[in-house]
Structure 1
Amino acid sequence: MGLIDTVKEALASDSAARPRPDDGSEGAYWCDDCDVRIRDVDLAGEPTCPDCGEEMRFERASGRSCAC
């Protein structure tokens, strides 16, 4: 299989085939200064960055291709 065929196959793959966690997560908290991400279901306590201590912003998950 050539490189072009591999790229075509990767682009044509079904996104629904990839599993998505079903743990009730609605998004993640982000620290824009430190590039730290914590999923909402993994957060214990206030949404503050563990690296710098600043408040983190919430970003809601949307769609099946979300990395959250």
Structure 2
Amino acid sequence: WIVAELVHIPFGQAMLAYAPGGLEVMTLLAFMLDLDPAFVAAHQIARFTAMILVLPFVTALVLGKK
């Protein structure tokens, strides 16, 4: 809610942009709810990319290097 207020976007759009789920599902929901699908898709792709880049380091930190 705070992000939506700070950036002046609808709450549903901010929620879909950062919600876990498939890219195609979130984009389809944005279309159905008359929200900006490009915004939602771009943030979903950024979220996926961040997970791919950060997860190996977090895993190594938690499990320890072998």
Richer in helix (by share): 2
* TM-score, shorter chain, exceeding 0.5: no
Which TM-score tier does this pair reach, normalised by the shorter chain? under 0.3
Richer in strand (by share): 1
Higher gyration radius (CA): 1
TM-score w.r.t. length of structure 2: 0.27
TM-score w.r.t. length of structure 1: 0.27
